[in-house]
Amino acid sequence: MTRYKDRGRPYIDEPLIDKDGSIVDVDEVVARVRKATGRPSMSGTTGISPQIGVRLPEVLNAALEARARAEGKSKSELVREAVEAYLD
């Protein structure tokens, strides 16, 4: 029987059995699912891409949002393109 607690993570009070009869390690399954989800690495490797945060004035953020909508891109994509152009 599965009971839910801790933000929806299942609490299992009896072993889970796989199709082949082996006992399933729930922690291993959760780790694999977490590793498999999310966006692919920007650096072309299997690791996590570096991430930074930037604070913008409201006017600049509004302009960025408008440009992103107009071009059908995300704000992050536009910022990456701008940084690449600036550093080249």
Question: Do residues 10 and 4 lie in contact, with contact meaning Cβ atoms separated by under 8 Å?
Answer: yes
- Supply the pLDDT for residue 12: 64
Question: Do residues 12 and 2 lie in contact, with contact meaning Cβ atoms separated by under 8 Å?
Answer: yes
Q: Domain limits at 31?
A: 2-42+51-87
Residue 84's pLDDT band, with cuts at 50, 70 and 90, is very high
- Please write the tens of the pLDDT for every residue from 1-56: 444 455 556 666 677 778 888 888 777 777 777 666 666 777 776 677 788 999 99
Q: How far apart are CA 21 and CA 55, in angstroms?
A: 53
Q: How many domains does the chain have?
A: 1
- Supply the pLDDT for residue 61: 96
Question: Would the pTM count as exceeding 0.75?
Answer: no
